Amino acid sequence: MSRPVLQVIAGSTRPGRKGIAVARWVTEQAQGHGGFDVELVDLADAGLPVLDEPNHPRLGQYTKQHTKDWSATISRADAFVFVFPEYNHSVPGGLKNALDFLFHEWADKAAGLVSYGGVSAGTRSAAALKPVLGALRVVPVVEAATIPFFQQFIDDDGVFTGNAELQAGATAMLDEIARLTAKLRGPRD
């Protein structure tokens, strides 16, 4: 059996966002982990409009090419790491919209959460995301990498460099995703 595919999903689409640097760092951590084939999926590149499908996603009867493309992207994954900020104590609209486009493609896959922000480190956003993932049958792992005052880790070139605590959190999260993915992947295969 091949290594599982882990998609690191950059959950902010805002112009001028800094979170893409965080997503790139998470991608590097996942590649260094060695347990996955890793893909960075940038929602800004996905180009999804506000949900415009006439049929409920549970039916899988997609009529728009962008939905079919998004379905193919997410179907490749065995697990996810969602990297996202907190907007108004909740999940960024672009991430929620991207989740809402699909149903079966998300199901029975493990996910890690990497939230970032100021003093709260995006934890309210993570709390808001968990029931959405549960409704999609995504299994979030307990281990996480929450990043307070995240901009302190971004240099003048826009590169994020996590400290030892963030690296330890990312490693624990990736270890648990790998463990859970092995259990969830068998029944899906």
Tens-place pLDDT, residues 144-170: 999 999 999 999 999 999 999 999 999
CA atoms within 13 A on the CB side of 130: 12
pLDDT band for position 56 (cuts 50, 70, 90):
very high
Domains and CATH numbers, the chain: 5-188 (3.40.50.360)
| Whole-number Å distance between alpha carbons of 138 and 127 | 14
